[in-house]
Amino acid sequence: MVMCDLTKLSDVRNAIKEIRSHHEFLDGVFINAGLGYAAKRVETEDGMDPHFQVNYLSQFMLTLNLLDLLEKSENGGRIVFNVTETGEIFWDDIQMKNKWGYEAAIHQAMVAKRMFSERMHNLYKERDTSKVSFIGFQIHKTVWTNQINIIPFFMKSMATLMKIFGTFISMEECGEVMAPLFTESREESLKKSGKFITWKNDAFVEMKHDEYAADQKLQERLWIVSLDLCNDEDTVRIAEKLT
């Protein structure tokens, strides 16, 4: 197990080094870690909005630095991004210093992950032999996690009631649904690469791409901003090699 505090880019760098020192290849990565409810805006030690850094930027950096290990997978490396339909980038205030709300912060990070996933797919499909797939997956129900313990009482009461009516699923149930994305063949995984899918009627179904997330100029803009915020030579070198 590799421990990593995603609110610290220094921790991400250390985690990358530790993973690379213990593994010659990786079969899959699930880009899922994220902050949810927050009572007020704070800043990380890197001077960023925690939702943007934890839910997106740190995982952007982690992903790029692990690509070569995924390329070495004999089963076909794959990255699954936990994403949703909604969100926009606040280009003039990405760190949300002027206008903050935890839901808007979550959605900004979500659309950033979708844009990153699609850009990675587009970069790899231009290669003669693409060995890594990039899949956007929207979990079909809210997952019941220990974050329930930090939300206000009225929200916790409402969530508990909703759980009774089947609105939530357990982490184990979510894992059972997603397992095929990590165990299916390379060929099947590559067919899903670049797509935005969810689980419906006991099957994976493709969801409609929204024009905002699919805008390649905005993807490029986010790419440049992300590399600048990471301020990491290895990450920049890998990005330059890809493009």
Q: What is the pLDDT of residue 236?
A: 97
- Residue 181 maps to a domain: yes
Tell me the mean pLDDT in the region 102-121: 94
Question: What count of Cα atoms within 13 Å lies in the side-chain half-sphere of residue 199?
Answer: 16
Kindly report, residue by residue over 84-103, the tens digit of the pLDDT: 888 899 999 999 999 999 89
Q: What is the pLDDT of residue 169?
A: 64
List the structure tokens of 173.
Answer: 């149930």
Residue 185: how many other CB atoms lie within 10 Å: 10
Q: What is the pLDDT of residue 47?
A: 96
- Residue 240 maps to a domain: no
Q: What is the pLDDT of residue 119?
A: 96
- Taking 60 as the threshold, does the pLDDT of residue 118 lie above it? yes
- Taking 90 as the threshold, does the pLDDT of residue 139 lie above it? no
- Residue 182 maps to a domain: yes
Kindly report, residue by residue over 26-79, the tens digit of the pLDDT: 999 999 888 877 878 999 999 999 999 999 999 999 999 999 999 999 999 999
Kindly report, residue by residue over 141-191, the tens digit of the pLDDT: 665 555 656 556 666 566 566 666 566 667 788 889 899 999 999 999 999
- Residue 3 maps to a domain: no
- Residue 122 maps to a domain: yes
Name the DSSP class of 210: P
Question: What count of Cα atoms within 13 Å lies in the side-chain half-sphere of residue 177?
Answer: 22
- Residue 6 maps to a domain: no
Structural domain that includes position 40: 11-235
What total number of domains does the chain contain? 1
- Residue 38 maps to a domain: yes
The CATH number that applies at residue 31 is 3.40.50.720
Q: How far is residue 146 from each of residues 50, 143, 154, measured CA to CA in Å?
A: 18, 10, 16
**Nearest residue to 46 via CA among 235, 231, 221, 222:** 231
